[in-house]
Chain A
Amino acid sequence: GAVVSQHPSRVICKSGTSVKIECRSLDFQATTMFWYRQFPKKSLMLMATSNEGSKATYEQGVEKDKFLINHASLTLSTLTVTSAHPEDSSFYICSARPLAGGPYGELFFGEGSRLTVL
């Protein structure tokens, strides 16, 4: 159990277009999901905390108008990279923590989405 799925796993887009990445918890519910960005051989950098039914909480330095997050249900959060530029190319990963795990529980990650902006 506790599977988190991301789609697409790889996406290539032209500069100036928008790209949507989905994160789904397949067998559990999560009021909170997290979005990370990871550069090659680096650790995960938290971008924002996605809250079901309310606005996302963004980390300092992350442009909320650039990285739109929607958490429409207890099993789905989406990250939209708007007006993408080559510097947005990166590996984006989501994670979620099962509601049933209580306040201190395990965090499960999606497979990641590789975005390449030409």
Chain B
Amino acid sequence: GQQLNQSPQSMFIQEGEDVSMNCTSSSIFNTWLWYKQEPGEGPVLLIALYKAGELTSNGRLTAQFGITRKDSFLNISASIPSDVGIYFCAGQLTGNQFYFGTGTSLTVIP
């Protein structure tokens, strides 16, 4: 199936630093979702975006739905060790068509 281009592939940062990752696609999406997955567990929904240009926050996390509807970014401010994990974006075309990014592996160094 189709996959979204997600970058960076991995990040190693110091605790307290801000993090930014993004997803791009050649397709126009109706919904963008951001997930975090920890080892051995299923992805957990962080933020859902429904409108082009929408900017939504969830604690230290902020995500935006790109104006062109072909991209989205996720920012994490003041990272902490428990932010470690793999972050995935997912775009929804129509009702049952979801496509996933390749993931960004985040390591936070205390």
A binding-site residues for B, Cβ under 8 Å: 4, 6, 32, 34, 41-46, 49, 59, 91, 93, 95, 97, 103-112, 114
Contacts and interface: CB of A to CB of B under 8 A. Distances in A.
27 contacts: A34-B98, A41-B86, A41-B103, A41-B105, A42-B103, A43-B100, A43-B101, A43-B103, A44-B88, A44-B100, A46-B100, A59-B1, A93-B42, A95-B42, A103-B94, A104-B31, A104-B50, A105-B31, A106-B33, A107-B33, A107-B45, A109-B42, A109-B43, A109-B45, A111-B41, A112-B40, A112-B41
Contacts of A32: 95-96
Contact of B43 (A6, A41, A44): A44
B1 to A, nearest CB: 5
Interface in B78-99: 86, 88, 90, 92, 94-96, 98
Nearest to B3: A43
Given A97-B96, A104-B95, 15 more contacts: A4-B42, A34-B98, A42-B102, A43-B100, A43-B101, A43-B102, A45-B1, A46-B98, A91-B40, A104-B50, A107-B45, A109-B43, A111-B41, A112-B40, A112-B41
B100 to A, nearest CB: 5
A87 B9 CA distance: 26
Contacts of A108: 45
Interface in B30-66: 30-31, 33, 35, 40-45, 48, 50
Given A43-B102, A44-B100, A109-B35, A104 B40 contact: no
A93 B103 CA distance: 16
Contacts of A103: 94-95
